[in-house]
Amino acid sequence: MKNYLVIGASSGIGRELASLLNHQGHKVYATYRNTPVHDKIAGVEYHFLDVTEETLNPDFLPEKLDGLAYCPGTINLKPFLRVKPEDFIADFNLQVLGAVKVIQAVLLGLKKAESASVVMFSTVAVRMGFNFHSLVSTSKGAVEGLARSLAAEFAPKIRVNCIAPSITDTPLASALLNSDAKREANAQRHPMKRVGSVSDIAQMAAFLLSDKSGWITGQVYGVDGGISSLKVN
Ligand SMILES: NC(=O)c1ccc[n+]([C@@H]2O[C@H](COP(=O)([O-])OP(=O)(O)OC[C@H]3O[C@@H](n4cnc5c(N)ncnc54)[C@H](OP(=O)(O)O)[C@@H]3O)[C@@H](O)[C@H]2O)c1
């Protein structure tokens, strides 16, 4: 049994990941911010944590931590001229500095594990250019850089990897999937002819957190229905 911390486990991919790890028999420490966790997963331990606060105090964690998944993110799509400099700063604070603060706060615990693993989330919109994605692709590009540099700095004790999903059916993507027409159009853009499910992404995250991926570090994995590498039509 391992100890895992899932930041942002009240919704979407983080919730599914917490459920999966719990089901595998691990101890899961899960955090939420706004979303009230009505349907708590039995066995998972929940704590409030807002990563935009200046200092984070994860004193609820055990001494040794085997893995961390950092799930908070945004999809804030706007024409470039409508994006204000402060929007970039707010996005960077959540997606990049939030991860930095969490990793710094739990690093001693990760170092106490025999082999630990950190998973962060990027987006397919870093590798591929999409209209109106300047905000999210800028922050997520930094997340990928952070993951690679920490993978180098922490090897061989702690592995660090990124998952870069395409559109996945979660509350975060609801505005892009809130009609049959939008859902179908998004499905058809992908070689696999559907949008992602929380399970598609959480299964990859659980694998990267586990010892089964023990020789994988510093990587960015597209879990994206083939959209970033295939042209099938
Ligand atoms: N869904 C997609 O289509 C998609 C595509 C590409 C990449 N991604 C990335 O995948 C990751 C997970 O996305 P998701 O779709 O599962 O998102 P989600 O459904 O919005 O869940 C995000 C989680 O992060 C928490 N969170 C947000 N702001 C926070 C803060 N300031 N402090 C602490 N926790 C905070 C949320 O808590 P509360 O709800 O309690 O606020 C929630 O539990 C994100 O990094 C996202 O950018 C998603």
What's the confidence (pLDDT) of residue 180?
96
What's the confidence (pLDDT) of residue 37?
66
Share of the chain above pLDDT 70, in %: 99
Rounded average pLDDT over 211-218: 98
What's the confidence (pLDDT) of residue 38?
72
Work out the mean pLDDT of the chain and round it to a whole number.
96
What's the confidence (pLDDT) of residue 233?
65
Q: Which ligand 1 atom is at minimum distance from the Cα of 95?
A: 45
The size of the chain, in residues, is 233
- Residue owning the nearest CA to atom 23 of ligand 1: 8
* pLDDT digits 0-9 by tens, 21-35: 999 999 999 999 987
What's the confidence (pLDDT) of residue 40?
87
pTM: 0.98
Structural contact between residues 116 and 157, judged by C-beta atoms closer than 8 angstroms: yes
Structural contact between residues 218 and 160, judged by C-beta atoms closer than 8 angstroms: yes
Q: How far is the CA of 14 from the centre of ligand 1 (A)?
A: 7
Rounded average pLDDT over 191-214: 98
* pLDDT digits 0-9 by tens, 140-175: 999 999 999 999 999 999 999 999 999 999 999 999
- Residue owning the nearest CA to atom 32 of ligand 1: 50
* pLDDT digits 0-9 by tens, 70-113: 999 999 999 999 999 999 999 999 999 999 999 999 999 999 99
- Angle formed by the axes of helices 134-154 and 85-92, to 10°? 30
- Residue owning the nearest CA to atom 19 of ligand 1: 12
Structural contact between residues 222 and 127, judged by C-beta atoms closer than 8 angstroms: yes
Q: What is the layout of strands, in order, in the sheet containing 27-32? A: 45-48, 27-32, 3-7, 67-70, 116-121, 158-165, 220-223
Structural contact between residues 96 and 70, judged by C-beta atoms closer than 8 angstroms: no
Does residue 222's CB lie within 6 angstroms of at least one atom of ligand 1?
no
Q: How far is the CA of 111 from the centre of ligand 1 (A)?
A: 26
What's the confidence (pLDDT) of residue 36?
66
Site to probe by mutation for ligand 1, drawn from 71, 92, 121, 186 as the one with most ligand atoms within 8 Å of Cβ, is: 71
